[in-house]
Amino acid sequence: MLDAFGTILLGSWTRINGAGMTCPQWPACPLNGTSLWEWTHRLFAMLLLPLVIGVVVAAWKRRKAPGIAPVAVAIVALFLVQVLLGAATVHLSNSPMSVVLHWGTGMAFIAALTAMTILASVAPGAGARNPGRGTDAIPTALFATALLAFATMCVGAYVSSSGAGLACISIPGCAGNVVVYTPGQFVQMLHRFVAFATTVVAAGTCALVWLRAASPRVRATASLGLGLVFVQVLLGLLNVVLRLPMDLREAHAANAALVFLAFVVGAIFAALDAREPDAEAATAR
């Protein structure tokens, strides 16, 4: 999972540095002074293949455990799609939509690996403290927040890859206008709107988790996710104010991924906790 996460961030850093097309062919990429970043990114991607095979072999041995088989299928499918999208991104010269699809599939792949890690190592209900009634809405709320964070990431990837990062250089509006007209301004304001919605929903989800009888691990991951959302907002503001320095752009992309994964982990924990009463009932019978 860490290798996959590093590969995704390395790909983001490669594009931000303007090195995304230093290897115009695929999969060949001769190593030279200009292609170092892209060459390293492809090397990391190749190293994922034996790791994915290892995950599938381990999952096959535990295929009867709940959730293991479908998640393993998702991992293989997403990995294959990601490889094809990597090739398509090169052939399409890093077009904005190809970048969005490549980034989104990569994050879905990491989310599937995260789910496999949790399902294979954490028992249902572990850490739960009498979930009881009223917790059915918690997994749904966490999954919805993760999906909204995912959408925000994808819109942000489009903003970055289309060169619209500074289409609106004022905050919170766009050049003092409520209605925007250019495509760059539109997608920039769309990103801000979705980011605002993510912040509100994340705060509501975190409040729900603490008000209802959620387990400590769910409360911890939801709180972490909300904290990362606030960090993300700050990074977004700094990127506009400081005119998109490369290190802050990469920090913004990396933190967005962490926000998404935090709520994915929380949702999986909440779903496992919700299964505990059913397991106890089955044991009693």
Q: Kindly tell me if the per-residue pLDDT of 131 is higher than 70.
A: no
pTM: 0.90
Q: How far apart are CA 173 and CA 231, in angstroms?
A: 20
Alpha carbon 222 to chain centroid, angstroms: 15
Tens digit of each residue's pLDDT (9 = 90 or more) over 228-271: 999 999 999 999 999 999 999 999 999 999 999 999 999 999 99
Q: How far apart are CA 38 and CA 30, in angstroms?
A: 10
Taking residues 168-193, report their average pLDDT. 81
Q: Kindly tell me if the per-residue pLDDT of 130 is higher than 50.
A: no
Distances (CA, A) of 142 to 69, 117, 148, 164, 219: 23, 18, 10, 30, 11
Domain ranges of the chain: 1-121, 126-285
Tens digit of each residue's pLDDT (9 = 90 or more) over 7-33: 888 888 888 888 888 888 888 888 888
Residues whose CB falls within 8 Å of the CB of residue 95, separated by 6 or more in sequence, listed in order: 89, 161
pLDDT, position 169: 85
Alpha carbon 51 to chain centroid, angstroms: 20
Q: How far apart are CA 170 and CA 176, in angstroms?
A: 7
Task: Check whether the bond before 27 is cis (ω within 30° of 0).
Answer: yes
Structure-token match 């990114």, residue found: 41
Q: How far apart are CA 282 and CA 37, in angstroms?
A: 54
Alpha carbon 86 to chain centroid, angstroms: 17
pLDDT, position 279: 45
Which carries the bigger pLDDT value, residue 12 or residue 199?
199
Using pLDDT thresholds of 50, 70 and 90, give the confidence band for residue 191. very high
Using pLDDT thresholds of 50, 70 and 90, give the confidence band for residue 133. very low
Taking residues 130-159, report their average pLDDT. 86
